[in-house]
Structure 1
Amino acid sequence: MSEGKRRSPPKAEKLVDFHTNVVKNAVSKYPGHPLILAGKSMGSRISCMVAGREDISPLLIVCLGYPLKGMNGAVRDETLLQLKVPVMFVQGTKDGLCPLEKLEAVRKKMKTMSGLHEIESGDHSFKISKKHLQTKGSTQEEAEDAAVQAIASFFTGSLR
């Protein structure tokens, strides 16, 4: 790779096949344990695609910074609309790859339970500007801890 240039990630289909094999190996290695799929950005999209496979049965999916908008600006909601397991989204309110109003519209159409925790002023990587943190009198770590607590609460609620 030449300096300064980023390569495109592998195609989703290739990543789904790879991750499906990893998940199947983990499930066979640890039988009887619950399966929770989680990912950040494209990893969350791949987790949702893997969860849609007939031979994969996760208890829950955690999507950190789900990339709802594709490169061409189209909303990529097909995978989410087919899910049958609970999904927890954690999104920055300033995430250009996932406008919250579009995610909310998709969540209303989903057939499964879903939750959303918003990281106020967080970008796609959940980074919050120092100015915003100073104004609110909080820290990046506190915002991230709140997200972890929201995930834990959603997980507990989805078991009921």
Structure 2
Amino acid sequence: MAPPRPEACLVLAHGAGAGMTHPFMAAVAEGLNARGIATLRFHFPSMEAGSKRPDRPPLAQATVRAAVDAARERLPKVPLFAGGKSFGGRMTSQAQAEAPLPDVAGLVFLAFPLHPAGKPSDERADHLTRISVPMLFLQGTRDALADMAHLRPVVAKLGERATLVVSEQADHAFHVRLRSGRTDAEILHEMLDRAAAWMRGVAAQAA
């Protein structure tokens, strides 16, 4: 999905349990499109095949690389970013850590899965130190896969490369309880505003 004159393009990978057409993924793409940011969504092979088991990292990372190549071919003069929701963001970060994704200016993580649910740790963060491009973490404070007591030190350790944007009361799916006084739509709106502004800023610095 691309606006008439995109200011950037985000290669957007889906999570482990829902594909690229999930309402959340569609809402992110539509919201970024309205903010001048193109997106390229894709399915991991397991999702394409209808399997409930996520692909092994090597295959998932290779799929991310192929999607980035496709985005570069379609929008060769547009600043390029990569990332995704949960598993998709983690596979993108691992691919970048193994070998930089060509022409990718930064990474955008929507609910980065720092650890398994109920097992707070920073065990999935080691590879992030090998990434040199800017990273944006969009996280909810009730995310069961990213305890803030562990995520904040991880982001701090990454220094100026990493930016953390916190959505109060949001869970791993960016849902909020009714008693929070906020709505899912408000959370998504704020999150996409920040993501679009961040990508514009990174692209401007890289120009």
TM-score by length of 2: 0.65
Rounded to whole Å, the distance in 2 between the matches of 1:130 and 1:111 is: 35
Aligned counterpart for 2:195 among listed residues 146, 151, 154 = 151
Residue 175 of structure 2 aligns with an amino acid whose one-letter code is: K
Rounded to whole Å, the distance in 1 between the matches of 2:82 and 2:132 is: 13
Match of 1:88 in 2: 136
Rounded to whole Å, the distance in 2 between the matches of 1:109 and 1:19 is: 26
Rounded to whole Å, the distance in 2 between the matches of 1:93 and 1:55 is: 30
Cα deviation for residue 55 of structure 1 reads: 5.1
Cα deviation for residue 71 of structure 1 reads: 6.8
Alpha carbons 1:84, 1:111 under 8 Å: kept: no
1:156 to 1:19, Cα distance in 2 relative to 1, 3 A: closer
Bigger drift between 79-88 and 28-37 goes to 28-37
Bigger drift between 107-116 and 139-148 goes to 107-116
Point out which structure has higher relative CO (alpha carbons under 8 A, 6+ apart).
2
Q: Secondary structure at the match of 1:96?
A: coil
Q: Does 1:56 align with 2:102?
A: yes
Rounded to whole Å, the distance in 2 between the matches of 1:11 and 1:72 is: 23
Cα deviation for residue 11 of structure 1 reads: 1.4
Q: Secondary structure at the match of 1:56?
A: coil
Q: Does 1:39 align with 2:84?
A: yes
Cα deviation for residue 104 of structure 1 reads: 1.3
Equivalent residues in 2 for 1:7-156 (5 A)?
A: 7-52=52-97, 53-54=99-100, 56-70=102-116, 73=119, 74=121, 75-110=123-158, 112-133=160-181, 138-156=182-200
Larger fraction in strand: 2
**CA deviation map 1:5-63 (0-9, x unaligned):** x8321112210011212212322343232211120000111121232324523111110
**CA deviation map 1:87-124 (0-9, x unaligned):** 11111100010111211111122265211111111110
Bigger drift between 45-54 and 122-131 goes to 45-54
Percent identity of equivalent pairs: 25
Bigger drift between 45-54 and 13-22 goes to 45-54
1:29 to 1:140, Cα distance in 2 relative to 1, 3 A: closer
1:126 to 1:54, Cα distance in 2 relative to 1, 3 A: closer
Q: Secondary structure at the match of 1:126?
A: coil
Alpha carbons 1:50, 1:56 under 8 Å: kept: no
Unaligned runs of 5+ in 2: 1-50
Residue 30 of structure 1 aligns with an amino acid whose one-letter code is: L
Rounded to whole Å, the distance in 2 between the matches of 1:150 and 1:25 is: 26
Q: Secondary structure at the match of 1:110?
A: helix
1:143 to 1:48, Cα distance in 2 relative to 1, 3 A: same
Q: Secondary structure at the match of 1:59?
A: strand
Larger Rg: 1
TM-score by length of 1: 0.83
